[in-house]
């Protein structure tokens, strides 16, 4: 018997992607993350992946 079920609390989301150097790709990653995870926009950070 499940008395109560709670969703986990997400403090923030960090997305690191090679394509994030392009502003259009960064905006799409940001929006997709916002919709998929359902967190406030100020809790999402999208950064470009550094190449070595």
Give the other-Cβ count within 10 Å of 2's Cβ: 4
Question: SS3 for 41?
Answer: helix
- In CATH, which of 1.20.950, 3.30.429, 1.10.3470, 3.30.310 is domain 1-52? 3.30.429
How far is the C-alpha of 28 from the C-alpha of 43, rounded, in Å? 16
Residue 44 in tokens: 């999402």
The pLDDT score that the predictor gives to residue 6 is 86
pLDDT tens digits for 1-52? 888 888 888 999 999 999 999 999 999 999 999 999 999 999 999 999 987 7
pTM for the whole structure: 0.78
Show me where the domains of the chain are located: 1-52
């Amino acid at each position: 018997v499940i008395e109560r079920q709670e969703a986990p609390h997400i403090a923030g989301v960090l997305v690191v992607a090679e394509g994030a150097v392009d502003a259009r790709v960064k905006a799409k990653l940001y929006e997709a993350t916002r919709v998929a995870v359902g967190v406030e926009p100020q809790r999402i950070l999208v950064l470009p992946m550094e190449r070595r």
